[in-house]
Amino acid sequence: MTISRLRTPRQGFMPPFVLERIIERGGARLQACARQTLNADHGFRAGRAPAPVADEALPAGSPTPGEPARYVYSAEQRQVLPGTLMREEGQGATNDPAVDEAYRWLGATYRFYWEVFERHSIDRQGMPLLGTVHYGQDYENAFWNGTQMVFGDGDGELFNRFTAALDVVAHELAHGVTERDAGLIYAGQSGALNESLSDVFGSLTKQYHLGHSAAEADWLIGAELLTERVQGRALRSMAAPGTAYDDPVLGQDPQPGHMTDYVETESDNGGVHINSGIPNRAFHLTATTLGGYAWKAPGRIWYDTLQDRRLTRDIDFVGFATLTVDNADQRFGSRSREVEAVREAWHGVGVLS
């Protein structure tokens, strides 16, 4: 199914509760950075921010399957989109780390989707991959707006630039894939699944790029974002939700890894960045039980489920888990170890009985 990008809210990488904690506990400069980031994010939700580029104004995509069409812009510390074009497909490095990282990681993400799933860009038809860097002043977020990916530079004290992490770039591109394939409503459990799918395919992109097996992977999301000042390893841990950080300013990672700890909240679109820890852990359990490369059987099952026409926009955890079991059955057979691993993983996080 095709979901209109105009109906999809902007999906950001940084959980709002992290920024709110910085405003409560950080120094004056950190408070100012977090506050202006939240204000910019609120402006997006209220429709006051720059509109996505119109489809007819997009640069050319790629007519050749297997070859991406990348365009990296700079907002030059303003909140404008897409900004000034700095590097496009085939051009050499610019010596601007953010520009060159965005270009490299967009390419790595494209290669993952093409070589693993034979998917030709976000829309399967060679859609141009647009990235804008240097967005805003000390902006502490990255997001997908329905047309392109946007990356802030961070505050330099707690957070590095958001292009530094391959899995962050891949996470945002995955929002575009989910938007076009399923259009999951960005609230409650469907929203948490939306975030989880971005973490899953972001992590798989990094694992594929590094050649890491499920046992070798760190299963951390956004590890490169944190500076040495932060007491933590990343923003999220798929292997052990709730353990990614425990810091005097950021507080403690609030993600649950089991339904007994599911967080009922009206903030963060119903806890989309919090409760995503539960399906994240289910994927990790599946991958580590099966062993080998996680982008093969586990990644294929999750990708098949994303393509499944039975995947409704408002699906909950139980519905999604049931579909993954069924897709494992269809691909590997009802008596396969893949089916058993998927079923046991969802049982292990309390979603399936």
* Residues 6+ away with beta carbon under 8 Å from 334: none
209 noted as active-site residue: no
Q: What angle do CA 301, 189, 158 make, to 5 degrees?
A: 95
Pairing of strands 251-252, 246-247: antiparallel
Cβ-contact 249, 264 below 8 angstroms: no
172 closest CA partner among 254, 105, 89: 105
Known catalytic membership, residue 273? yes
Contact, 265 vs 271, CB < 8 A?
A: yes
Among 120, 171, 175, 273, the one annotated catalytic: 273
Q: How many helices (H) and strands (E) does the chain have?
A: 10, 10
Q: Which of 88, 56, 51, 54 is nearest to 73 (CA)?
A: 88
Given 172, 179, 195, 338, the catalytic residue = 172
**What are the distances in angstroms from CA 261 to CA 1, 18, 230, 315?**
34, 19, 25, 20
Return the active site residues. Answer: 172, 273
